[in-house]
Amino acid sequence: MKMILVLFLLSTLLGTPAVPSRRPSCYKRALKDHNCHNIPEGALNLRQIDDGLQDHFWEGKGCMVICYCNSNELLCCPKDIFFGPKISFVIPCNSQ
């Protein structure tokens, strides 16, 4: 009887389709030849956010993902996760 129960549970677990999380997540990107202070403008698809936010970059053409440079890697997160929903709307967006 235990064997039937184990097989039933195992078959339901294997038969369940994997559903990706709809919540956007953060990720890290390694900087091969750069450090935070010498990332060229436009390199790695990054734009400096503001002079007041040193080592913070917009990723891509829009203003949805923010990357923070820490030593030789970037931590990139959606802006609402990075700054929180109360602060993220006041961060200047330079989408040019």
The mean predicted confidence, pLDDT, of the chain is: 74
Residue carrying structure tokens 């935070």: 36
Distance CA 19, CA 51 (A): 40
The proportion of the chain whose per-residue pLDDT surpasses 70, expressed as a percent, equals 65
> Looking at per-residue confidence, does 18 or 66 come out higher?
66
Residue 15 confidence (pLDDT) = 56
Reported as a single tens digit per residue, the pLDDT across 20-46 is 555 568 999 888 776 777 776 667 788
- For position 76, what pLDDT does the model report? 92
- Checking if the pLDDT of 78 tops 80, the result is yes
Q: Mean pLDDT highest for which of 14-18, 58-62, 91-95?
A: 58-62
pLDDT greater at residue 7 or residue 48: 48
